[in-house]
Amino acid sequence: MVVIEPGAIKTEWSTIAAENVKKMSGNGPYGELAEATAHLFMAQGASAPPHVIADVIWRAASTRHPKARYAAPFSAHVILGLRWALSDRLFDRRRQLALVSRPGVQVEAPRSIFYGNG
């Protein structure tokens, strides 16, 4: 079995996800967090074109001895490396900071989102 782990890819998914997160949570207690998440979805700076994933799939399917796991684009390697290197708490804190690092956005997410109920 081979696993392909795609990172950010330029597709219509980001627009659909941003619209839905704002529609579902934009007016409730998580409104600011939903807005920050939608903004993150729409920030396509680190996104790669879909052919990057197609190339990885082709490489995995056409090699005689494929690796068990492939990640693409480069940003996926960075995220997986952080996930491996950091504790759950630090990794979740890093994700939280990614959501609130926009100028002028003050989001205090409930601890239960990032650290459980304690």
pLDDT given at position 115: 45
pLDDT given at position 63: 94
What's the whole-model pTM score? 0.59
pLDDT given at position 46: 62
From CA 30, how far away is CA 7, in angstroms rounded? Answer: 25
Residue-number span of the structural domain to which 38 is assigned:
3-115
Q: What distances in angstroms separate CA 44 from CA 54, 62, 86, one per listed residue?
A: 19, 30, 25
Mean pLDDT of 75-95: 82
Q: How many domains is the chain partitioned into structurally?
A: 1
Is the confidence at residue 105, as pLDDT, over 60? no
Tokens of 61: 């399917």
Q: Please give the mean pLDDT across all residues of the chain.
A: 80
pLDDT tens by residue, 33-78: 888 888 877 776 668 889 999 999 999 999 999 999 998 888 787 8
From CA 6, how far away is CA 20, in angstroms rounded? Answer: 21
